[in-house]
Amino acid sequence: MGITDDVVTRGSTPLLPSADPFYAPPDDFANSVPGTVLRTRTVEIAQFGIVRQQVTAWQLLYRSNDLNGAPETAVTTVFLPHGADPAEPRPLLAFQCAIDAVSEHCFPSYALRRGAHALGSLSQLEWLVVANALARGWAVSMADHEGMRGAFGAPREPGYRVLDGIRATLGFDGLRLPEQTPVVLWGYSGGGMASSWAAELAPIYSPELNIAGAALGSPVGDFRAAVTRLNGGWFAGLALMVIAGLVPLYPALGAVVAEQTTPEGLRHLDRAAKMNPFGIVTRYARHSVDRYLRTDTLANLLQRPAMQEMLDDVRLGMHTPACPLLVVQAVHDQIIHVDDVDGQVGRYLAGGARVTYLRDRLSEHGSLMPLSTPLVLDWLAARIAGTPVAESSTRTVWSVVGMAPGLRGVLMLAATALRVLFGRPLRVRASRNTLRGSDVSGDKAA
């Protein structure tokens, strides 16, 4: 295994993953164990592909598994603050982007590189908050958790890719993290869904990893309810995107699509697979999938036994995470209904998981992610420090901004965002490893 340099020259565009030899699996990769590093390179990161970031970054190609347990390869991008000593022990954050697309333009391994043409990729916006973890001196692993097919909505395999990406990061010679490095998971929306799969599967798939906690932001909860609610509304394009992402994985869904979808509808599904989240939401606002069906409605088709079996397969909360969980959700979320996340949390609690559940009355889907970031990072820091979670709790607040670290945390978030936007070095500061017990119930001092 050798480290190669980023071959992008000034003013050029990196190759898309499907055309980039780095992503091509070695001939004998299936003989290696999951998490084995197969190929590495250093890369340059740039905000919106333009503003070069003052971080050290590598990409790792590693062995993982797909939905059905068949060997595959995946890529994670690993970050350190600029100038940080790779040999210094530090916690590892596995951050799952809200890829929310089938298009490879939205994979974080492509979208975050200097010169990338990925306007509309959510990972370019989420980098503004991920930088706050680097500012604490943490290492960050950001896997392409949808895989090379961009399987948005797929069950299990996002968890495999995330967990094997953690294994690969811990085994990467260029970083030299100890095997028992504390690892925390975090993601929002589609990233919260991927983080949920990782947290659920870790006790069975990768019990050797020292996963200290997982923060799940608006983690979808129930695709069955989400797709039905989104259809015909302002965010109907996301329902179309889910269908486009799942068709290659489920022959039963492919058969229903072939039977019921009009030629116009098939063209729209093909178009959806090439669009970014902003484009598809704008293009298909207020569209109903029903208008592209021959004789039935989406709601009726989802009642077919084969569709019920598929929807049960993609449902979160059917496995119990072993690590403590923080779940944040907007009560008036316009994309992910609070009832669906209530259900996911309820299933975790029924299985005996330790869950701190915060419901925010004033935020909506887009605003809760940045506003909750300071609180989430403090909660994760407490888990890294070994502060135990005393008991599960559910709390509805007016706004997470009213909780520690409050306005000060939001101002620090804004200051880091400005440094990112202007390409300035991050100010690495000591991590706060304790929380005010009155703000996030369930935590107690060690």
Element (DSSP H or E) covering residue 40: strand 37-43
Helices 251-260 and 236-246: crossing angle in degrees, nearest 10, is 120
- Cross-strand pairs, 358: 328, 395
Q: Specify whether the CB–CB gap between 122 and 128 falls below 8 A.
A: no
CB-count exposure of residue 427 (10 Å: 0-12, 13-18, 19+) = exposed
Distance CA 227, CA 204 (A): 29
For residue 9, what pLDDT is reported? 45
Q: What is the 3-state secondary structure (H, E, C) of 226-248?
A: HHHHHCCCCCHHHHHHHHHHHCC
Q: Specify whether the CB–CB gap between 261 and 218 falls below 8 A.
A: no
DSSP code of residue 27: T
Q: pLDDT tens digits, residue range 401-431?
A: 999 898 898 999 999 999 999 999 998 876 5
**Would you say residue 442 lies in a domain?**
no
Q: Are residues 90 and 176 in the same domain?
A: yes
For residue 225, what pLDDT is reported? 87
Counted domains in the chain: 2
E-strand spans in 361-407? 393-397
**Would you say residue 184 lies in a domain?**
yes
Q: Are residues 75 and 152 in the same domain?
A: yes
**Would you say residue 325 lies in a domain?**
yes
Q: Specify whether the CB–CB gap between 201 and 158 falls below 8 A.
A: no
Q: Are residues 12 and 140 in the same domain?
A: yes
pTM assigned to the model = 0.94
Final residue of a structural domain among 275, 297, 313: 313
Q: pLDDT tens digits, residue range 154-203?
A: 999 999 999 999 999 999 999 989 999 999 999 999 999 999 999 999 99
Q: Are residues 197 and 269 in the same domain?
A: no
Q: Are residues 192 and 119 in the same domain?
A: yes
* C-alpha 319, offset from chain centre: 18
**Would you say residue 10 lies in a domain?**
yes
Residue where the block lists tokens 């968890």: 159
Sheet holding 211-217, edge to edge: 3-4, 37-43, 55-65, 71-81, 139-143, 92-96, 183-188, 211-217, 325-330, 355-360, 393-397
Helices 236-246 and 223-230: crossing angle in degrees, nearest 10, is 130
Query: How many Cβ atoms from other residues are within 10 Å of residue 188's Cβ?
Result: 29
Range of the domain at 286: 223-313
Instruction: Flag residues of the chain having pLDDT under 50.
Output: 8-10, 432-438, 445-446
Q: Are residues 334 and 344 in the same domain?
A: yes
Q: Are residues 77 and 133 in the same domain?
A: yes
Give me 205's structure tokens.
């798939």
Query: How many Cβ atoms from other residues are within 10 Å of residue 340's Cβ?
Result: 23
Element (DSSP H or E) covering residue 94: strand 92-96
Distance CA 409, CA 339 (A): 29
Plot region of 194 (φ>0 → left; ψ -120 to 50 → alpha; else → beta)? alpha
Q: Specify whether the CB–CB gap between 146 and 242 falls below 8 A.
A: no
Non-local (6+) Cβ contacts of 376 within 8 A are 186, 215, 217, 326, 328
E-strand spans in 289-441? 325-330, 355-360, 393-397
DSSP secondary structure of 108-151: HHHHTBTT---TT-HHHHHHHHHHHHHTTT-EEEEE-TTTTTT-
Final residue of a structural domain among 263, 286, 313: 313
Q: Are residues 277 and 348 in the same domain?
A: no
Q: Are residues 125 and 274 in the same domain?
A: no
* C-alpha 83, offset from chain centre: 27
DSSP secondary structure of 178-202: -TT--EEEEEETHHHHHHHHHHHHH
Q: Are residues 74 and 210 in the same domain?
A: yes
Distance CA 328, CA 400 (A): 9
